[in-house]
Structure 1
Amino acid sequence: MFLQILWRSLQNRKGRVAIAILAVAMGAAMVFALGSLSLDMNDKISRELRDYGANIVVVPPVGGAGSAVEPLLPESVVPALKNSEAAPYILGAIPYLYGIAEIGNQKVVLAGTDFSQVQKSSPWWKVQGSWPTVGTNQSIVGVKAATALNLTVGASYSVRQKDKAGTFTVAGIVTTGGVEDNQIFADLPMAQSLLGHPGQVSQVQVSAQTGKQPVTALATAIEQSVPAAKVKVVKQIAQAEGQTLGKIEWLMVLVTVIILGASAIAVMSTMTTTVLERTKEIGLMKAIGAETSSIGKLFWTEAVCIALLGGLVGSVIGFGVAQLIGKTVFQTAISFRPFVLPVSLAISAIVTLLASFVPVRAATAVVPAITLRGE
C-alpha cells in the first residue's frame, strides 16, 4: 500500500518532481565534475606550470651556479637524476655550462646545453629561425646579444676563449624576456671543448611535477641520489605554484557550495509547494487513521527518491562536464574515479533531506479537523 501511494504521488506530480530532480542534478553535476577535476587538477596544473621554468636547480656544493670556471659538476649528474626516487616526477633536466668568451672585441656569456631538453622543458622560448641540430656547430643567440653583435639567422661568427677558438652558425635568435636574451647557446659538447671543461656542467635545471609530491620532498630525494651536488628549490616558482593551486581549489569549493545552495532552495521550494497542494489530502489521510510518522515517512521517501535520481543524472552530466573541461583546458581526458559517485550521491541526499526538513515538518503538522473544514 505504501509503495502504491508513493508511486501515485510521484506520478501525479511529474512536473514538480522533474524540477526537483533537475535542481538536485545541477548540484550533483558540479560535485562530480569538480570532485573529478580536483583529483586530477594538481597533476595537470603542475604540468602546465612547468612550461614556465624549472622549479629545482642542482648546483655545485660550494660556490654558486653560473660560475665561469669553478666549481663545476660532473655531467653524470644528469643520468643520476633518472635513477633517483624523484625520477617519476621529473619532466625534464637541462644541463648548462657557462663561460665567458669573446666575439670580436666583445665579451659574451657562452652557455652549453642540451637543446632537446630545452625544447621539452622550456616551450616558452620564442625562437626566430630554427633550433640547432644536435652535434653540430649551430647555435642560438639571445635577441639582445644578436643586436649587440650584429648577428642574424644564418650568419657565422668566431668565438674565442683564451687560446681556443671555434666557429658557430646562427640557427635561431631566441627571446625569453630573461637573462637568456644576453647569452649565446651552443651544443653542450661543443661548449665543453671550447671552454676547456669536458664532461662538466655548471648546473642542471630540473622541472619536477609537484601534484602528488611537494617540491621540497622531491628536492630532498634528488639530493640523496646526487651527494656530490647541492639541490635548491626555486622558491618564487614553488610559492607561486602552491598559491595558484590553493586559489583554484578554493574557487572550486566556493562554486560548488553556491550551486548546492541554489539546489537546496529549489528543492525546498518544490517540496513546500507540494505540501501546500496536498494539505487536504494529508488531512484526509490523518482523518482515516494515518499516523503522523507515516505521513513523514511518505515525504521523506519521496525526497530520497528525488535525491537518488537527481544524483545519478547529475553524476553522468558531471562526468561529461569534467571531460569537456579536461579536453578544453588541459588537452587531456579526466580519469574516472569510482569513489566520486557515492560521494556525489551522498552529498545530493544530504542537501535534499536538509532542504526537505521544513516542508516535511509542515506536512506532519497538518490538523485534520481544521483542514477538512477548509480553514
Structure 2
Amino acid sequence: MINKNQRFIIKTLVSSLIRRRSRMAIALLGVAIGATVLLGMVTLCYDIPRQMGQEFRSYGANMLLMPANNQSTMSMADVTKAVKLLPQDKLLGVTPFRYDAIRSNQHPYTIVGTDFKQVIKTSPYWQIEGKLPEHPNEILIGTDIANFAKLTIGSTMPVTGKSKQNARFDEDLTITGIVKTGRSEDSFIFIALHDLEQFLEESDQAEVVEVSITATQDELKHDIEIIKKQSDSIEPHLIKWVTQSESSVLGKLSSLLYLVTFVVLMLTMICVATTMMTVVMERRKEIGLKKAIGANNRSIAKEFLAEGLILGVLGGIIGVICGLIFAQVISTNVFGRTINVEFYLIPTTVVVSAIVTVIACLIPVKRALEVEPALVLRGE
C-alpha cells in the first residue's frame, strides 16, 4: 500500500510535469526519438548479417568442397556426409560440378555436368536466355560458344569424347538455353550430371562442389574446421572474395549504425539536460522555499531525478513502438523482407532510455542543489 508521504510525492511529481507540460513534452519527444533510433538501429545491426547474407548469396557460393589428398574427384556420398555437418537451417544450395573435354565439329570444348535445380540456388547471377535442361541430352551453352559456333536455342550440337574406360561416345545434344555470366561459365557447355556420368561410364563423382550458406566469415571458418576434422576425403575452402567483401561491408555498415545511434543518444541527453536546466531556473523560488522550510538536498535531488525517470520510461515506451515500425519500414524498403526482432531489446531500450535521461538530469540537479534559499527569496 502507498502511504501518505508516497502519495504526496507522486502528486507533486505529476503536478510538476503537468504545469510544465510544454517543456516536458519537448524532453519527452527527445527521449522518444532517441529510443526510436536506438531500438531501430540496434535491431537492424542484429538482423543485417542475415539480411545482407542473403543479398550476398546472389553473388554466388561462399564455400567450395574439393577432393583431398591430390585426388581428381570425390565421392558424392562423402560430399553428402560433409554437407550434413553444416547448419541445415542456413544452407541455401549445394551444387556439384564434373568437367570433361569433348569436341564438336572438330573444335575442343569443356562440358560440365551439374545439378540444374541446385545451380540456380548457388549461382543466381546466371543470366539464362531460354530455359534450363529438363530432359536427357539437353544442354545449356555459354554465350561465347553460342557466338563462336553461331548456335541458337533449339539447335543440335554434335559432341564426341571418351569415357573413363576409354570408350568413344558420340551424342547429339539439344540446346535449351544460353547462359551469360561474364565469367568462365560463358565458354562452357552445361549438361545434367547424370547424363555426363552415363557418357563417362562413371557415377557418384564430383570434382568441385559449390556451397551457398548464410553465415559470417568466422562462422564459415568454424564450419570448415569441423569438416576437416570429420572428413579425410573432402577439402573445404572459403571463396575469399565473397566472404571478405561480405565481412567488410557488414563491419562498416554496423559501425555506421552504432555511430549514428551513439550520436542520437548524445543529442537526446543534451535535449533533456537543456530542458531540465530551464525547469530548474524556473523553479528556483520553489526550490529555495522548500529548502527554507526544511527540505534537504537529497529529497530535492530525488524529485528531479524521479521526473527524469518518468520521462525516460514514457519516452522509452513510445520509442519502442516507433522503433519497431522504423526497423520494419527500413528492412522492407531496403531488403524487401520483414525483420526479425530480438524481443529482449525491447525492455533493454526502455531501461537505456531511463538511464540516459537520469544521467542527463545530473547537471540540472546539481544546479538545483546549489540554490541559496536566502538569496532566492530576496529576489536575487
Bin for the TM-score computed over the shorter chain: over 0.9
- CA drift at 1:290: 2.1
The equivalent residue for 2:362 is: 357
- Inter-partner Cα distance in structure 2 for 1:78 and 1:330: 33
The equivalent residue for 1:228 is: 233
The equivalent residue for 2:91 is: 90
- Inter-partner Cα distance in structure 1 for 2:102 and 2:247: 39
- Inter-partner Cα distance in structure 2 for 1:112 and 1:308: 62
- CA drift at 1:253: 0.7
- Inter-partner Cα distance in structure 1 for 2:240 and 2:81: 23
1:50-92 superposed Cα distances (whole Å, 9 cap, x missing partner): 22111111111144xxxxxx71122324432443244343221
Number of matched residues?
368
Contact 2:101 2:161 survives alignment (8 Å): yes
Contact 2:217 2:247 survives alignment (8 Å): no
- CA drift at 1:363: 1.2
- Calculate percent identity across the aligned residue pairs: 34
5+ residue gaps, structure 2: 1-7, 163-167
- Inter-partner Cα distance in structure 2 for 1:114 and 1:93: 9
- CA drift at 1:304: 0.4
Code of the aligned partner of 1:136: P
The equivalent residue for 1:11 is: 18
1:148-183 superposed Cα distances (whole Å, 9 cap, x missing partner): 121112211111113212222221111111111111
Deviates more, 1:162-171 or 1:299-308: 162-171
1:309-353 superposed Cα distances (whole Å, 9 cap, x missing partner): 001110111111122223233333223323112221222122212
- CA drift at 1:196: 4.0
Code of the aligned partner of 2:153: V
The equivalent residue for 1:327 is: 332
1:181-226 superposed Cα distances (whole Å, 9 cap, x missing partner): 1111111111222244332211111112214961111122333454
- Inter-partner Cα distance in structure 2 for 1:223 and 1:186: 30
- Inter-partner Cα distance in structure 2 for 1:104 and 1:329: 49
Deviates more, 1:236-245 or 1:265-274: 236-245
- Inter-partner Cα distance in structure 1 for 2:204 and 2:350: 59
- CA drift at 1:107: 0.9
- 1:28 paired to 2:35: yes
The equivalent residue for 1:41 is: 48
The equivalent residue for 1:191 is: 196
Contact 2:216 2:243 survives alignment (8 Å): no
Code of the aligned partner of 2:318: V
Instruction: Give TM-score, length-normalised by structure 1.
Output: 0.92
Q: Secondary structure at the match of 1:311?
A: helix
- Inter-partner Cα distance in structure 2 for 1:96 and 1:239: 24
Q: Secondary structure at the match of 2:72?
A: coil
- Inter-partner Cα distance in structure 2 for 1:75 and 1:2: 75
Contact 2:308 2:358 survives alignment (8 Å): yes
- 1:55 paired to 2:62: yes
1:130-163 superposed Cα distances (whole Å, 9 cap, x missing partner): 2221x43222111112111211122111111132
After superposition, residues 1-375 of structure 1 pair within 5 angstroms as 1-63=8-70, 71-133=72-134, 135-162=135-162, 163-211=168-216, 214-375=219-380
- CA drift at 1:5: 1.3
5+ residue gaps, structure 1: 64-69
- Inter-partner Cα distance in structure 2 for 1:338 and 1:167: 59
- Inter-partner Cα distance in structure 2 for 1:2 and 1:199: 80
Aligned CA RMSD, in angstroms, stands at: 1.9
Code of the aligned partner of 1:54: A
